[in-house]
Amino acid sequence: MKILLADDDPFIHHIVTMWLSRNGHEVSSAYNGSEALAKLKEGGFEGLITDVNMPLMKGIDLVKEVLQLPQRPNLIVVLTSRCDTGQLKKEMNNSHVHFFNKPFSPSVLTELIERLHRENQHPNEHEQRKIAADAT
């Protein structure tokens, strides 16, 4: 999966890129929201991982813009250390947007990306498992 990582912290870029690359993903970098939006407008990304607090354009504003794009990523993960994550989720109210709290384990983030990517590729199977689980 081709993923754009938008975060102003070079350490986050290094760690997340290393973990996702190990699992066969292609990771491109953006160090602020404006740069990320420009790259996403070019298309070709299946996933976006963005920090909430970035220069030039906040991550939440980036996500709002991305959701309006005709060719948007199927998977969006927002990294946040904010305590109002519940409010952010209400603001987004989109099944393609997932929140992940900082500090985080890169391996757990990678597992989340892998699971969400599988669910996006096979939505009917995921929905059938969910229905079966709800029935029990």
Tell me the domains of the chain and their CATH numbers: 2-135 (3.40.50.2300)
Check: CB of residue 45 under 8 Å from CB of residue 74: no
Task: Using alpha carbons only, give the angle 40, 73, 29 rounded to the nearest 5 degrees.
Answer: 45
| pTM recorded for the entire structure | 0.82
pLDDT in tens, 11-53: 999 999 999 999 999 999 999 999 999 999 998 999 999 998 8
pLDDT in tens, 70-125: 888 989 999 987 556 666 666 766 667 888 888 888 888 889 888 888 887 765 55
DSSP 75: E
Helix (H, G, I), strand (E, B) or coil at 35: helix
Say what the pLDDT of residue 72 is.
87
Residue identified by tokens 């029990």 is 136
Say what the pLDDT of residue 25 is.
94
Residue type, 101: N
In this prediction, residues 1-18 reach a mean pLDDT of 94
> Which residues does 41 contact at the CB level (< 8 Å), separation at least 6?
69
**What's the start-to-end Cα distance of the chain, in Å?**
34
Residue 67 to residues 18, 125, 131, 134, Cα–Cα distance (Å) = 27, 25, 27, 29
Nearest in space to 79 (alpha carbons), one of 26, 126, 42, 33: 33
Please determine, for residue 134, whether its predicted confidence score (pLDDT) is greater than 60: no
Say what the pLDDT of residue 83 is.
58
Say what the pLDDT of residue 86 is.
63
